[in-house]
Amino acid sequence: MIRFAIIGAGRIGQVHARAVAAHPEAELVLVYDAFEAPAKALAEAYGVRHTLDIDEVYGAGDVDAVIIGSPTAMHVEHILGSVRGGKRVMCEKPVALELDEATRCVDELGDEAGRVMLGFNRRFDPSFAEIHARVADGEIGQLQQLTVTSRDPQGPPAEYVAGSGGIFKDMTIHDFDTVRFFLGDIVEVSAFGTNADEAIKAAGDFDQAMIMLRNADGALATIVNSRTCSYGYDQRLEAFGSDGALSAENLTETSVRKASASQTQAQGPVLNFFLQRYEAAYSRELGVFIDAVNNDAEVSPNVVDGVEALRLAQAATQSAREGRTVRL
């Protein structure tokens, strides 16, 4: 049984608490937050203790592993503190707000870096993972193009945007990791950003973005992002190769379709947001982490993948601001 602490009791902390509670080899024992109300609420929901003292997490004798879901600016401090306290760590994306800070984290971790998991949950989505495995098996020949569509149902609150690092580091970071997962190292990034949401514009960020990337072999990827989407959480993937294509469409609650005089093939709404859409992915992600803890092994994706995704986010930010392709 792996005994867990959760750092940060907000939206994603609650998602992970649920996955831990559902896993037969995992047990939640401690919740930390900088504020009493969220810490207490999450701890009480699972009948465990909470603390506002981070050193209690680092030093807890009954905690084997820590899941970090605190605001991004705190990730590096919480990773280093937990590892120094002898805990295995799974940390949410992105590693940090700035590439320098993320690189410093990897440098300070040294040999431990490969053991710190990064929460790129989409690698564990059953459909995306199947496409990846079938591409790797050569089923569609040479992979030539990857198209990643990721649109959120509604934009985050302005205070979240302010501390998020911007759309490329906060949102597209998942898609940069997906592109690296399929295409490996990227050599060129060209990004465009614009606004349809006045509140996000006022906060100095883009809410719409499109990014093109190229790997060393010439394979291309396109990422399509929006912070808002009228029909819900739009999460799709297509891999196109010399011998065919593999694609995954949006998920709905059931597969029931309606035909009428005005519509055919009409289904219910797409699953609403990350908790519902990626529930299976979070659970499989936790399973991979628990296996690594049980086997005292390295894990993938890890904090080094987090740095590489952040490198792409930084390049995209620069590309969109300067209106040019960035070569890596």
Cβ-based nearer residue to ligand NAD, 246 or 271 = 271
Q: Is 204 exposed, middle or buried (0-12, 13-18, 19+ CB in 10 A)?
A: exposed
Identify which of residues 92 and 219 has a Cβ nearer to ligand NAD in the complex: 92
Comparison of 152 and 214: residue with beta carbon closer to ligand NAD: 152
CB of 12 to ligand NAD, least distance (A): 4
Distance CA 45, CA 220 (A): 46
Q: How far is the CB of 274 from ligand NAD (least distance, A)?
A: 4
- Residue entry with tokens 């597969």: 255
Q: Where are the beta strands (DSSP E) in 186-268?
A: 186-194, 208-215, 220-226, 234-241, 244-248, 257-258, 266-267
Q: Residue 257 Cβ, how far from ligand NAD at the closest point, in Å? A: 29
Burial of 318 (0-12, 13-18, 19+ CB in 10 A): middle
Q: Measured from the CB of residue 24, what is the shortest distance to ligand NAD in angstroms?
A: 23
| 133 alpha carbon, distance to own chain's centre | 19
Sign of CA dihedral 85, 90, 96, 99: positive
Nearer to ligand NAD, 38 or 85 (CB): 38
In the complex, the smallest distance separating the C-beta of residue 237 from ligand NAD, rounded to whole angstroms, is 16
> Nearer Cβ to ligand NAD, position 72 or 314?
72
Strand partners, 150: 225, 235
Q: Is the dihedral of CA 175, 176, 177, 178 positive or negative?
A: positive
Report which residue's Cβ sits closest to ligand NAD: 10
Minimum separation from the CB atom of position 94 to ligand NAD (A): 6
* Residue placing its CB nearer to ligand NAD in the complex, 8 or 193: 8
Question: Which residues does 207 contact at the CB level (< 8 Å), separation at least 6?
Answer: 155, 167, 194, 195, 196, 197, 200, 201, 226, 227, 228
Q: Min. distance of Cβ 143 from ligand NAD in angstroms?
A: 25
DSSP state, residue 181: H
Helix, strand and coil content of the chain, in percent to the nearest 5, comes to 45, 25, 35
CB of 180 to ligand NAD, least distance (A): 16
Alpha helices in 155-264 (DSSP H): 158-162, 167-170, 172-183, 198-202
Half-sphere exposure of 16 (CA within 13 A, CB side): 31
Terminal-to-terminal C-alpha distance of the chain? 43
Q: Which spans of this chain sit near ligand NAD (rule: CB under 6 A)?
A: 7-13, 33-35, 38, 69-72, 74, 92-93, 119, 121, 160, 170, 274
Nearer to ligand NAD, 8 or 241 (CB): 8
Nearer to ligand NAD among residue 170 and residue 215 (C-beta): 170
